[in-house]
Structure 1
């Protein structure tokens, strides 16, 4: 195991050295910068080239496509961590579970949730993607689509009651969406889960359709509008410094 870890560390040093030269560098220079014996560097460079982390062009080594994917993965993880940390801040600020979701590739995707043992999030008891018409997150995302995109969504995920309070049919849902004020919170009461009330607000994330939402137990329903307004004010104050990325 120590030998394996050492090999990984040496390989990473070579990748870092290669990454510092946009036009590439020869093996001898990379070995010197990574502090490695030349035979060891040659062996690792061959392995890294074979795996696609490096390319050899005209006697020099440059980063390969696998290294780019590795960097993208690290960036994605950083963005996800930022979203999780941001949701935890909003959760504590409003005193309720906070959700972040987006409409991506024709589907509703719940990206992250932040809750506490004393304020648990709503359990996903019915497929969240297929029941967007029934919960505040889905209704908020659907309201931001054009009619054609919504029709495509309904064709794949038909409107249907999942609780006695769910919107009755497609016409009723479309009437509700048409009546929604621009940038106003979307509220649903026990339409997705009995004993739970939810509210969602649209979020600007570049060209992507996104939303943040909160949920409360039914006995705290009187807090719902206050809490979602507080969420909206907190998000508005921080959007200039936070860049919510959904490319994860």
Structure 2
């Protein structure tokens, strides 16, 4: 993958996507003037873009004239999640894992060098993690799900993914260099249940493993820096069920 600008870039499409991104990340509806300023666009262009996006259903104009994300964005989001070809019975196995262990269970995959959480089954013994929700990209270097998937890859591809994604620091325990991650993975073997303690969130531990014969990983999270033996055993059972 590359960040180089394509020679045939369509500027109007690029600007429309920039508008969508600014509106979606805002914590309140935005006026056209604010959208124009944040996107670095002139006011006339911004009016044309928001009107088009409203007509197509990707923005919604409120009675006060401000704009928020429209329903078509949610439709595309659900279509994106449905496009992933999950392992058979994946949703059922996740729900069972969460119910029997009491911990939130996750299903994730590396896609275009990004770790994407595709399904989540919440459990009462886990904290709610806003970055580990269905449809969101998260950190492969700081999560057990990501490490398990990275461990299954050849070193050259793994290092390329880490370099491209960047190694953001989430806590004091987060590895922040490719060498740190490689040193950690060198102590593991492919297919092993990978565990991380406080690297993604303070006082949260996670365990994850790749479903044999697939490019999927399932995992669990726990409150506190330990993973109960029962939860670890239920995770292994879920792996066998998916296999």
| Structures share fold, TM-score greater than 0.5 | yes
Answer yes or no: is the 8 Å Cα contact 2:195–2:208 preserved in 1.
yes
**Aligned length, in residue pairs:** 163
Aligned equivalent of 1:200: 208
Deviates more, 1:121-130 or 1:179-188: 121-130
State the secondary structure of the residue aligned to 2:186: helix
| Residue 94 (structure 2) pairs with residue 87 (structure 1) | yes
State the secondary structure of the residue aligned to 2:141: helix
Distance 1:188 1:128, change over 3 A: farther
CA RMSD of aligned residues (A): 3.3
Shift of 1:106: 2.8
Answer yes or no: is the 8 Å Cα contact 1:122–1:196 preserved in 2.
no
Answer yes or no: is the 8 Å Cα contact 2:102–2:125 preserved in 1.
no
- Once the two structures are superposed, what CA deviation does each residue of 1:60-93 show, in whole Å capped at 9, x if it has no partner? xxxxxxxxxxxx99x9699699432321111112
Deviates more, 1:153-162 or 1:114-123: 114-123
Shift of 1:239: 3.1
Instruction: Give, in whole Å, the separation in 1 of the partners of 2:85 and 2:242.
Output: 18
From 100, 104, 109, the counterpart of 2:107: 100
Instruction: Give, in whole Å, the separation in 2 of the partners of 1:222 and 1:120.
Output: 13
Give the TM-score taking structure 2 as reference length.
0.57
From 173, 177, 182, the counterpart of 2:181: 173
Q: Unpaired runs of 5+ in structure 1?
A: 1-71, 241-248
Aligned equivalent of 1:159: 167
Distance 1:108 1:146, change over 3 A: same
Shift of 1:187: 0.7
Aligned equivalent of 1:189: 197
Aligned equivalent of 2:39: none
Distance 1:197 1:134, change over 3 A: same
Give the TM-score taking structure 1 as reference length.
0.56
Q: List structure 1 runs of 4+ shifted beyond 3 angstroms.
A: 75-82, 116-121, 125-130
Shift of 1:107: 2.2
Q: Unpaired runs of 5+ in structure 2?
A: 1-78
Aligned equivalent of 1:239: 242
State the secondary structure of the residue aligned to 2:170: coil
Answer yes or no: is the 8 Å Cα contact 2:107–2:118 preserved in 1.
yes
Distance 1:130 1:232, change over 3 A: closer
Answer yes or no: is the 8 Å Cα contact 1:100–1:210 preserved in 2.
yes
Answer yes or no: is the 8 Å Cα contact 2:205–2:227 preserved in 1.
no
Instruction: Give, in whole Å, the separation in 1 of the partners of 2:108 and 2:84.
Output: 17
From 100, 124, 127, the counterpart of 2:131: 124
Aligned equivalent of 1:135: 143
Distance 1:185 1:222, change over 3 A: closer
